[in-house]
Amino acid sequence: MIHLAFRASNTDIFKLLQNCPRIRAIQVPSSYRKTLSRASEMFLVMQGVDLIEGDVWGHRKDINEYYSIDEIVMHRIAKLRANGASPNEIADAVSRETRLSPQLVKYLIKQSS
């Protein structure tokens, strides 16, 4: 998974998937999501890559180039799922607690199923 902090063109998306063929999700800020072309969206769908809208809060690139989802988040998702919460309820709760975007949490739920 990768977070793009810039407005990606069709060429950027194509080169990204060419250089990272195993990528399964791309997260973009909501303002950039609205400007992504239909062609890029269709290409991502054809390649099986999920497009997630949201920001990476509290992440500083000058300290660490990567952001890892803490294992506690995954345990919280599992606990809420075991208690019978729906994916939307889980996404809302975990998003409030961690400041991860609800779409990212829904992606994590889907991947952990």
Are 1 and 19 members of one domain?
yes
The arrangement of strands across the sheet holding 25-28 comes to: 2-3, 25-28, 50-53
Q: Once rounded to an integer, what is the mean pLDDT over residues 93-101?
A: 88
Q: Tell me the two tokens of residue 11.
A: 């060429």
Domain extent for 89: 68-113
Are 43 and 1 members of one domain?
yes
Phi then psi for residue 51, to 5 deg, are -105, 120
Are 14 and 40 members of one domain?
yes
**Model-wide pTM > 0.75:** no
Torsion (CA) 35, 37, 38, 44 in degrees, nearest 10 = -110
Are 57 and 80 members of one domain?
no
Q: Report the distance separating Cα 78 and Cα 62, nearest Å.
A: 32
Per-residue pLDDT tens digits for 15-71: 999 998 899 999 888 888 888 899 999 999 999 999 988 876 554 554 555 567 788
Number of domains in the chain: 2
